[in-house]
C-alpha cells in the first residue's frame, strides 16, 4: 500500500539523514585539529563554526565555491583574536596539530577592484557574490572570496587569465582553478570531501523527511476516521 511505501521511504531517508547529521556534527572529513577545536564549542563561546558551516551556496556554484575556498573551508571562525589565541594554546598544549583561525575582529574584506573582468565572456561573477552569509560574516565572505572570479568553462578561464596577464584567480563551475602566476589545477572531486554539498544535502533531507512525516500522519488519520 501507499502507506507502507511511504513508511519505507521515510525510514530509509531518516536513517540517511541521521548518518549525515553524525558526519557533520563529528566534523568527519576535517583534520584532527579542527575536530578537537570543534569539540570545545559548547564550553567555549567564541567558536562560531568552520567556514563550511557559515556559507550557503546554490547547488550550481557549489563546486566553484568549494574550489575557491580551498583549504580555508576548514578554517575556524572565532569572535575575536583572544579566542583564537586561547584555542591555539589548547592545540599546542595537547599536541593536537595546527589550525587556522579567522577572528571576526581582525578579518578585513577585500573588494574586487577589477570591474572590467566582470564584463568578459563566460564570467558569472565574483565568488563572494554567489554565496549567502549572515550579515556579521559579510566581511569574512569578502575576505575569502572577494578576489576570485567564477567563470563557466575552462576555455573562458584560460582566455581571461591570458588577457589579464595571469594576475587573477579564476575558478570554473567544474572546479578548475587558474592561479595568479599561471599555474592551473583541476581533476575530479572525491565526493565525500564536498563539505558545502554535505550541509546542503542535509538541509534538503530535513525538509523531505519532515514533509513525509506530515503525509504519513495525515494518511494514518484518514485511515482512523
Taking only the tens place, the pLDDT of each residue in 23-51 is 888 898 889 999 999 999 999 999 999 99
**How many CB atoms sit inside 10 A of residue 212's CB?**
17
- pLDDT greater than 70 at residue 221: yes
Average pLDDT value over all residues in the chain: 92
pLDDT of res. 29? 83
Percent of the chain with pLDDT over 70: 97
How confident is the model over 61-67, as a mean pLDDT?
94
Any idea how long the chain is? 225
- Taking the whole predicted model, whether its pTM rises above 0.85 is answered as yes
What pLDDT, in 10s, does the model give residues 87-122?
999 999 999 999 999 999 999 987 766 789 999 999
Integer Cα distance of 149 and 151 in angstroms: 6
pLDDT at 212: 93
Contact (Cβ atoms closer than 8 angstroms) between residue 79 and residue 103: yes
* Per-residue model confidence (pLDDT) at position 206: 95
pLDDT for 113: 65
- Give backbone dihedrals phi and psi of 102, rounded to 5 degrees, phi first: -120, 95
**Are the C-beta atoms of 50 and 30 separated by less than 8 Å?**
yes
- What 3-state class would DSSP assign to 78? strand
Given this model, what pLDDT does residue 77 score?
Answer: 98
- How large is the average pLDDT for residues 136-151? 96
Q: Look at residue 191 in the predicted model and tell me its pLDDT.
A: 54
- CA-wise closest residue to 109 among 131, 93, 82: 131
CA distance 198 to 203: 9
Query: Using 50, 70 and 90 to split pLDDT, how confident is the model at 74?
Result: very high
DSSP 154-174: HHHHHHHHHHTTT-SEEEETT
Q: Binning pLDDT at 50, 70 and 90, where does residue 215 land? A: very high
Round to whole Å and give the CA distance between 83 and 57: 28
Mean pLDDT throughout 50-68?
94
Spatial contact of 58 and 130, defined as CB atoms under 8 Å apart:
yes
Distance, in Å, from the CA atom of 223 to the CA atom of 26, rounded to the nearest integer, reads 41
Cell numbers given for 51:
567556514
6 closest CA partner among 209, 223, 205: 209
Where residue 219 falls among pLDDT bands split at 50, 70, 90? confident
pLDDT at residue number 46: 97
Amino acid at each position: 500500500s501507499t502507506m507502507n511505501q511511504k513508511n519505507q521511504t521515510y525510514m530509509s531517508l531518516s536513517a540517511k539523514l541521521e548518518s549525515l547529521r553524525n558526519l557533520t556534527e563529528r566534523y568527519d572529513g576535517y583534520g584532527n585539529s579542527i575536530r578537537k577545536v570543534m569539540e570545545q564549542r559548547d564550553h567555549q563561546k567564541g567558536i562560531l563554526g568552520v567556514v563550511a558551516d557559515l556559507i550557503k551556496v546554490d547547488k550550481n556554484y557549489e563546486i566553484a565555491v568549494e574550489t575557491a575556498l580551498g583549504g580555508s573551508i576548514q578554517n575556524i571562525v572565532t569572535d575575536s583574536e583572544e579566542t583564537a589565541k586561547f584555542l591555539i594554546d589548547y592545540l599546542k598544549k595537547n599536541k593536537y596539530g595546527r589550525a587556522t583561525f579567522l577572528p571576526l575582529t581582525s578579518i578585513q574584506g577585500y573588494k574586487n577592484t577589477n570591474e572590467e573582468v566582470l564584463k568578459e565572456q563566460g564570467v558569472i561573477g565574483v565568488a563572494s557574490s554567489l554565496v549567502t552569509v549572515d550579515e556579521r560574516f559579510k566581511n569574512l565572505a569578502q575576505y575569502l572570496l572577494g578576489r576570485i572570479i567564477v567563470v563557466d568553462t575552462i576555455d573562458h578561464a584560460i582566455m581571461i587569465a591570458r588577457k589579464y596577464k595571469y594576475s587573477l584567480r579564476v575558478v570554473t563551475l567544474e572546479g578548475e582553478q587558474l592561479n595568479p602566476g599561471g599555474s592551473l589545477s583541476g581533476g575530479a572531486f572525491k565526493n565525500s570531501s564536498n563539505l558545502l554539498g554535505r550541509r546542503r544535502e542535509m538541509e534538503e533531507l530535513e525538509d523531505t523527511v519532515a514533509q513525509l512525516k506530515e503525509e504519513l500522519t495525515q494518511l494514518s488519520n484518514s485511515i482512523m476516521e
